[in-house]
Amino acid sequence: MNVHLKRWLTVSAAAVVITAGVVVGGSYWRLESNLKTVDLAKEIGNARPPSTPGPPSTPGRPLNILLIGKDDGRSDTAMVVQLNAAGDQARVVSIPRDTMVPRPRCGNNPPASIAMFNSAFSTGGAACTVATVEQLSGIRIDHFVQIDFNGFRDVIDRLGGIDITMPEPIDDEKSGLHVPAGPSKLDGTQALAFVRTRYSIGDGSDLNRIKNQQLFMRALSEKIANENWLASPQKTFALADILTKSIVTDSEIGSISKLADLAGKLTALKPESITYVTLPTETYLPDPNRVQPKQPEAEALWKAA
């Protein structure tokens, strides 16, 4: 969801639609009815660690938004967007999906002393993923935005593709993605393959796939900002319609007006003010195909926000 980046979640698109006054009557309710929400307070209130900070009522605390990419029913991507109190700087922290972490109790599912990070989503959906991130990081996740990867593909097509500069070529027979080194324009199907690709780049690990995702997110936020894409009410409504059909959010931002309020906090954020980092990890010795948070670097990363 910027937020996946800058304004990439529906947030800004929906907000501009409203403030431009083009969503009236049935159009407004069409967007509103597209939204699906989860009540985090109800789902994970008791699962939150006692030390987890409360809502962002204290001046100076960042706003933390968890972005979840859903692919074929699984959590494929998880990123924590941390927006500073002034709203002009953001940090995006990627969490490798194969990181071995403790998982808290999620609904009727007992806690697990160690589990792969993305198993939280299959265990208890977005709420369990939020609770797992909070236990891992010690920070409060204020909101989440979950986007279906098919919706992601449609968004890129609606934007007319994304220009990206590849540091090396990709020839991935599994996904059918063939991109030369240097500048390329990716359509929605290619973009989806790009953010999924892992085995044809580097050592085939999830860490290399994350680098691709961060590269793509930066290009996406720059396109939306530089082309002033949201200035056209008609185009904005079409984008907002796709986005609102493709996302799930927490109930606290689960309306068009609340998304617009959140968008207002992003107006000072520019693409060059977004930094992208990955949770420091090291090999998980019981299974070399997995990783675990590397200490003390991982703890220091979360405390640095």
- What was the pLDDT predicted at 13? 42
pLDDT band at 53 (very low <50, low <70, confident <90, very high): low
Q: Write down the H helix ranges in the chain.
A: 10-19, 26-34, 40-44, 119-137, 149-158, 188-196, 206-226, 233-246, 256-264, 297-303
Separation between Cα atoms, residue 136 and residue 48, nearest integer Å: 11
Separation between Cα atoms, residue 253 and residue 12, nearest integer Å: 13
- What was the pLDDT predicted at 4? 40
- At 215-247, the pLDDT tens digits run 888 888 788 777 765 556 666 777 778 888 888
- At 109-126, the pLDDT tens digits run 999 999 999 999 999 999
Average pLDDT, the chain: 80
Decide if 147 contacts 68 (C-beta within 8 A).
yes
CATH code 3.20.20.390 for 10-148+230-303: no
For residue 203, how many other CB atoms are within 10 A of its CB? 8
Quote the pTM value.
0.83
Task: Say yes or no to pLDDT of 15 above 90.
Answer: no
**For residue 180, cis peptide bond before it (omega within 30 degrees of 0):** no
Residue whose C-alpha is closest to residue 247's, from 113, 182, 154: 154
Decide if 197 contacts 215 (C-beta within 8 A).
no
